[in-house]
Amino acid sequence: MDFTLIKERAEKNWKALENLRQPLIQIGMGTCGKAAGADEVYAAAKQTLKQMNLLGRILQVGCIGTCYLEPIMAVRKPGGPFIYYGNLTAKRAEDILLSYLRDGDPKPEWAVCFTGEGPVDGIPRFEDLPMIKPQVRIALRNCGIIDPENIEHYIARGGYSGLMRALQMNPEEVVQEIKDSGLRGRGGAGFPTGMKWEFARKAPGQTKYIICNADEGDPGAFMDRSLLEGDPHSVLEGMLIGAYAIGCNEGYIYIRAEYPLAIKRLETALKQMREYGLLGRNILGSGFGFEIHIKEGAGAFVCGEETALMASIAGGRGMPLSRPPFPANKGLWGNPTNINNVETLGNVSAILAQGAKWFAGFGTEKSKGTKTFALAGKVERTGLIEVPMGIRLKEIIHEIGGGVAKGKKVKAVQTGGPSGGCIPADLFDLPVDYESLTAAGSIMGSGGMVVMDEETCMVDIPRYFLSFTADESCGKCIPCRLGTRQMLDILNDICGGKGTIEDLEILKDVSETVQKGSLCGLGQTAPNPVQTTLRYFHSEYEAHILGKKCEAGVCKPLFHYEIDPETCNGCGVCSKKCSVGAVTGEKKKSHSIEPDRCTKCGACYEACKFHAVHIC
């Protein structure tokens, strides 16, 4: 089929949707949306339309990024703007639809924002929301806007025009375009994508492979999942462009089994691509042929490492190999192989569509374009964000994220997951680019960004990450296998009140050995959480060891709860919440906690509305 005809038809259908003479309702149905109750909202919307005898369309869309507002519904009357509502229940969704569609009142007090033709009284524009204003969406350009299971939506929004452009260029020119754009790998290490492609292109060999690394293993990261759920074609198009540039006809997507919805969306997308002639032996009559297979991971963090990932695809234990040879020369089944992260490929399709120069206009000198982050933890507005490189951490945390939740004090931000580090609040002026984050001891990483407040213990955090990396170490090389275990043992001692000041010296020593001596990225970066906390939060380690105190109230042997008799009014909520009967006191008189019985579960602390329970 001719692409011009496909595009015309897609645009016609998209236009018809835009000019729909009936109400159009969009509901965010990503994993997060569903977890928050989007299915119930969907059912309620369907039911309410029926009840009003209204013909209307309900569209399932991906994640729009304001995850803290899930479940989210957008409602449009014919010719009007989309009005967004958040934190919905089935009942609230019904009330909104009745009020807006039947009585004409959009209920501004419940609305979050609007998109399209405005203004709307009392409702801000989407782009003016403090969370959205600093953002630039390239990789996430379609997320939350299109139906991810409808290829025509993607095409109507400019999709596959990048591929069309690439197919009219020489493969070398495509490589050069990506080089000119300055795109660097979004999986974390930041290697220039164009160079990587060139290595694989120039490597001798008949059979070559391209792999999309969707093994998003960092705990605290969900960018790739959201992109695959919300706009799978943007990634698949990037993969096709890469395959054409490198000269390969077969590709794999290695994706975590924990992402069933993303897998389903990919399968649907591949089926549609085949129907539209965008996959197979002769793509759109260009003579270029390509096939994509999906491989489900089986739960091993180390498989995010390129050589381990390929061992896993081949059906073995996911254990890394030493390099050289590099995958570009000797990868999957010994053939030249190129591996790119999900977000990198999502950017590739945009670059080919809009040009290298356009892309390079965003970001800093060495870090071009944008980066997506999964903003989570103790921040007011959690979500999936995309920001231009070079933005300052404080802008992300305070403006986009709205600062720390519940009026607590922000302590640090963690980037890069188990391979990254904790950056303290006094460094929040730091620009977000590959070099600055590395200089601060952390890494850009794949995009996990977890905000921590005064109730987060900065000795417990490295312990948490080390328990993860020690568990996930494949065991092949000794520095990683034993080193992570050793660091974890020391941190367990410190958190358990058994640490000595000499431990800190040993910890530093071991961390350097693991960093320098490990075979792959897992071990080389596993010490980062330890080293950054030792560097920025040394006093917390000392308080644990010398003062036997965990001020954050996390390490159980190092703190206890007390009820302040002045503040306590004897409401009795805490004693009801206590499952071991440790809180006692007469009604309307101040209560107290029996230290011997208390398990430090924190139930009373969380329950007390008057902040009378203190961490001591």
Partner 1 sequence: MEQAIYQELPAERMEEIEGLFAEIRKEFKGRADELIPMLQRVQRALGFLPEQALLEIARLTRLSAARVFGTATFYAQFRFQPVGKNIIRVCRGTACHVKGSNRILETIEEHLQVTPGQITPDGLFTIETVACFGSCALAPIMVVNDSVYGSLNRSRALKLLDEIRVREEGLFK
Write out the residues near partner 1 by the rule CB under 8 A.
31-32, 34-36, 67-68, 70, 216-222, 225, 256-260, 295-301, 312-318, 374-378, 382-384, 414, 417, 448, 450, 452, 456, 461, 464-465, 468, 472, 474, 579, 601-603, 606
CB atoms < 10 A from the CB of 158, how many?
A: 17
Minimum CB distance to partner 1 smaller for 185 or for 217: 217
Through-space distance between the first and last CA atoms of the chain, rounded to whole angstroms: 72
Minimum CB distance to partner 1 smaller for 162 or for 383: 383
Residue 600 CB, nearest distance to partner 1 (Å)?
A: 10
Minimum CB distance to partner 1 smaller for 126 or for 373: 373
User: In angstroms, rounded to a whole number, what is the distance separating the alpha carbons of residues 224 and 215?
Assistant: 9
Residue 155 CB, nearest distance to partner 1 (Å)?
A: 28
User: In angstroms, rounded to a whole number, what is the distance separating the alpha carbons of residues 571 and 557?
Assistant: 28
Residue 158 CB, nearest distance to partner 1 (Å)?
A: 28
Angle at 192 between CA 535 and CA 263, to 5 degrees: 90
Minimum CB distance to partner 1 smaller for 7 or for 463: 463
Minimum CB distance to partner 1 smaller for 167 or for 522: 522
Nearest to 23 by CA among 61, 54, 64: 54
Residue 222 CB, nearest distance to partner 1 (Å)?
A: 4
Q: What residues pair up with 82 in beta bridges, in sequence order?
A: 76, 115
Residue 579 CB, nearest distance to partner 1 (Å)?
A: 8
CB distance 522 to 480 below 8 Å: yes
Angle at 173 between CA 170 and CA 179, to 5 degrees: 150
DSSP structural state of residue 408:
P
Residue 508 CB, nearest distance to partner 1 (Å)?
A: 23
Phi and psi at 85, nearest 5°, equal -125, 145
Non-local CB neighbours of 48 within 8 Å, separated by 6+ positions: 93, 94, 97, 98
Q: For residue 275, give the H/E element and its range.
A: helix 260-275
User: In angstroms, rounded to a whole number, what is the distance separating the alpha carbons of residues 408 and 275?
Assistant: 53
CB atoms < 10 A from the CB of 298, how many?
A: 10
Residue 29 CB, nearest distance to partner 1 (Å)?
A: 12
CB distance 1 to 276 below 8 Å: yes
Residue 452 CB, nearest distance to partner 1 (Å)?
A: 6
Minimum CB distance to partner 1 smaller for 152 or for 386: 386
Amino acid letter, residue 332? L
Residue 543 CB, nearest distance to partner 1 (Å)?
A: 19
Minimum CB distance to partner 1 smaller for 18 or for 606: 606
- Own/partner pairs for 97-101, CB < 8 Å, 24+ apart? 97/25, 97/45, 97/48, 97/49, 97/52, 98/48, 98/52, 100/75, 101/23, 101/49, 101/52, 101/54, 101/56, 101/75, 101/77
Minimum CB distance to partner 1 smaller for 500 or for 599: 599
Task: Tell me how far CA of residue 298 lies from CA of 92, 216, 255, 511, 520, in angstroms.
Answer: 40, 12, 9, 29, 20
Residue 488 CB, nearest distance to partner 1 (Å)?
A: 15
Residue 319 CB, nearest distance to partner 1 (Å)?
A: 8
Residue 410 CB, nearest distance to partner 1 (Å)?
A: 12
Q: What residues pair up with 282 in beta bridges, in sequence order?
A: none
Minimum CB distance to partner 1 smaller for 70 or for 152: 70
Q: What residues pair up with 368 in beta bridges, in sequence order?
A: 363
**Token pair listed for 526:** 């596993």
Distance of CA 448 to the CA centre of its chain: 6
User: In angstroms, rounded to a whole number, what is the distance separating the alpha carbons of residues 232 and 12?
Assistant: 22
Buried b (16+ CB within 10 A) or exposed e, 160-177: bbbbbbbbebebeebbbb
Buried b (16+ CB within 10 A) or exposed e, 588-608: eeebebeeeebebebbbbebb
Residue 65 CB, nearest distance to partner 1 (Å)?
A: 9
